[in-house]
Amino acid sequence: MKNNPLETAIGALVVMAAVGFLYYASNIVGISGPSDTYDVKASFRSAEGIALGTEVRMAGVKIGSVTGMELSPITFRAELKVAIKKSIEIPDDSAIAVTSEGLLGGNFIEIIPGASEFPVENGGEIEDTQGSISFITLLMKFVSGNE
């Protein structure tokens, strides 16, 4: 088999393009090294519209993403694990809510900071949670006049 320098150069270019694409995609999705985030847990009655990789925001700024999601067999609640940037210290009395971007927009997790002097530690839990509200259920309550 003959070694052609042009084919080798094109192959190297393709490999470099693939590595660049993976780097770009990981930054867009928010995948980062394990050393620059810490985990926080929260339990929701309903996490409808939330999936792995969903943004976690505070004051409209992305500060993390959802990294784990499972149903508790004991409480039947959605147990979420979110990764937060280490540079952001969340007070331990903060609230966490599933919020919608609008009528047709997607959902995201919003953290409403509390006033405590003590931050949530790695692996800690935010206990004040607000699950997602189904737009159809809300509309049916409005139409039927039920409160």
DSSP states of 42-55: EEES--TT--TT-E
Query: What are the φ/ψ torsions at residue 138 (nearest 5 degrees)?
Result: -65, -40
Polymer length in residues for the chain: 147
Looking at residue 54, its amino acid is: T
**pLDDT of the residue at 144:** 80
Domain ranges of the chain: 1-31, 34-143
- Which two structure tokens, joined as six digits, stand for 80? 């979420």
Within 8 A by CB and 6+ apart from 34, the residues are none
- Per-residue pLDDT of the chain (147 residues), as tens digits, is 567 888 888 888 899 999 888 887 776 665 555 568 999 999 999 888 899 999 999 998 999 999 999 999 999 999 999 999 999 999 999 999 998 887 667 889 999 999 999 999 999 999 988 877 666 676 777 788 766
